[in-house]
Structure 1
Amino acid sequence: MAIENADIEKIAVLARLQVDPNEINDYTNSISSILSLIDQMQQVDTNGIEPLSNPHDATQRLREDIVTCDNQRDAFIAIAPATQDGLYLVPKVLD
């Protein structure tokens, strides 16, 4: 697929990008070479080749949902500097 300078200018307008007119030829050459490489890759025969593994195909090992430590709320409340009705009291930050 050939791309021309006018295509680059149109893409820049649609993407709301400011492209320096002196660099349009460089962009055209770069994108053309990328599209040429894609065309070459499309022509490769991939019949009989298995796809690589995909992380979305994996399942996650899950553990049982059981409590592993005791409730230490009373111990934490006991060492707090200020509490009231089981809640921590903190200094007022905003007026």
Structure 2
Amino acid sequence: MSTRITSDDVAHVAQLARLELDPAQVELFTGQLAAILEHAEDVEALDLADVAPTSHPYPLVNVLRPDEVGATLPNAEALAAAPQAEGGRFRVPTILGEAP
């Protein structure tokens, strides 16, 4: 991968992506992309023969508690803090062009 990226390469990719870059931006992005590619070369050079493939570096477990039926808030108490209530339910503004 040791090929160095040039400003012509950056300008070409920008054109393909339909991006309009001024010369200062092309130079800025050339340096940034060169640094990214150098880092990719460093990673590619690592000896990973003895490293097992993983989808995540740490073993994951479900950290959620199981659902359990418990006491609920009485309807009147829940609606007491609502800005508007109607018919035992929360009243919310209409959406999607529905008539009130």
Say yes or no: TM over 0.5: yes
TM-score when scaled to structure 2?
0.54
- Runs of 4 or more above 4 Å deviation: 50-53, 74-78, 82-90
Q: CA deviation at 1:66?
A: 2.9
Aligned partner letter, 1:39: E
Aligned to 2:12: 10
CA RMSD of the aligned region, Å? 4.0
Within a 5 Å distance, the mapping from 1:39-58 to structure 2 comes to 39-49=41-51, 54=56, 58=60
Task: Count the aligned residue pairs.
Answer: 90
Q: Please list every run of 5 or more consecutive structure 2 residues that lacks an aligned counterpart in the other structure.
A: 93-98
Residues 67 and 35 of structure 1: is their aligned pair in 2 closer, same or farther, counting only changes over 3 Å? same
Determine which structure has the larger helix proportion and give its number: 1
Determine the C-alpha separation between the residues in 2 that align with 1:84 and 1:41: 61
Q: Percent identity?
A: 27
Normalised to the residue count of structure 1, the TM-score between the two structures is: 0.56
By relative contact order (CA 8 Å, sep 6+), the higher-ranking structure is 1
Larger radius of gyration: 1
